[in-house]
Amino acid sequence: MCGVPSFLFDNFGEIFFMSSKQRENLIYLTAILIAVSGLFHLVDTLTGKVLFDLAFGPYLYVQTRHFWKMKKLGVAIEGVESRRYYILIALWICLLFTLINFLSVPFLMIFLVMVDYLVVSQTE
């Protein structure tokens, strides 16, 4: 497969590690979904809150899947990946707090996505 070690590919031939451009596109998608949820929030507050929580869905799914595969293959999470792993854990905790109405932390969630973008862009 183009000289790339076979352990970097999963069962479907998909490359295991995401490029920084793919990570940036994922963050841009999350930002667009947050903006759309903000527009819906102006019309209907409850719909806006639900869409805001759902806006983080693609980001959380892809990142969780990425780190799950890393753990499954026994790849060490170090350096930039460890920072991104801690950001992912913080986002899951914030989302959980928001869903159970323990603490509403939408600004912190947006801030964590921005920090993740800075971490990704600084690695290039």
Q: What is the pLDDT of residues 6-61, one digit of tens each?
A: 444 444 444 456 677 887 888 889 899 999 999 999 998 889 889 998 999 999 99
The two structure tokens encoding residue 121: 């862009």
Give residue 33's domain range. 20-122
Q: What is the pLDDT of residues 79-116, one digit of tens each?
A: 888 999 999 999 999 999 988 888 878 889 989 999 98
Strand partners, 9: 15
Structural domain includes residue 3: no
Helices (H), 44-100: 45-55, 57-73, 80-99
Structural domain includes residue 42: yes
Number of structural domains in the chain: 1
Structural domain includes residue 113: yes
Instruction: Output the pLDDT for position 65.
Output: 92
**Are the C-beta atoms of 83 and 121 separated by less than 8 Å?**
no
Structural domain includes residue 1: no
